[in-house]
Amino acid sequence: MLTQLNAENFKSWQNIGEMGLASVTGLFGTNSSGKTSILQLILMLKQTIESANRKQIIDFGSEDSYVNLGNYRDIIYNHEGMRNLNIALTWELAEPIEVYNYEISSERLFKVNKLTFQLTIALNLSLIVQEFNYSFFDQGKTYKFGMKRQAAEEYQLVAEGYPMKAITEDQDIFLPRVC
């Protein structure tokens, strides 16, 4: 279940802030205060996730979508295309994810109950993902894994809280392990 939403530079919102969400969340405010924009953001993310087009960074919609928001400049704060769109979602998992060490299958590395996904999108000649990461908290420590854009088609892997290890081609980490 989604528990928190944050967005910067989406429609009328320069910064939504850390908006808490629950199973029932009411949005209250004066006319034209941005309540509908929050719903449109959530629906835009939903239709992006459901889209079969994996090359498409954001699904702005069509006549058959939940929402049809036009293009990047239409959804960006003050229609200023040079601004980045920043989105963060936090959700609690129905069941925890347990991650084990592929070298020592009985060693549990993490138990994840809640995840945060952060995304930064920019407009260059086309839409680009500037950065994305997943973060979580386990045993008193915060972990973050993701990628950050360095050049045109070059990304740097990001890992905080746990050292990354290189895996060679001859190591099959996807083989089933008996614990």
Domain-wise residue ranges, the chain: 2-160
How many beta carbons lie within 10 A of that of residue 73, not counting itself? 12
Which has the closest alpha carbon to 90: 175, 7, 166? 7
Q: 3-state DSSP call for residue 161?
A: coil
Is the separation of the CB atoms in 46 and 56 below 8 Å?
no
Please tell me the predicted confidence (pLDDT) of residue 27: 92
H helices within 27-166, ranges in order? 35-50, 72-75
pTM for this entry: 0.85
Query: What's the CA angle centered on 117, arms 103 and 90, to 5 degrees?
Result: 110
Low-confidence ranges of the chain (pLDDT < 50): 177-179
Please tell me the predicted confidence (pLDDT) of residue 169: 66
What gap in Å lies between CA 123 and CA 146, rounded to an integer?
20
pLDDT tens, residue by residue, 88-107: 999 999 999 998 887 777 88
Please tell me the predicted confidence (pLDDT) of residue 162: 86
H helices within the chain, ranges in order? 35-50, 72-75
How far, CA to CA in Å, does 135 sit from each of 49, 98, 109, 123, 161? Answer: 19, 14, 14, 25, 10
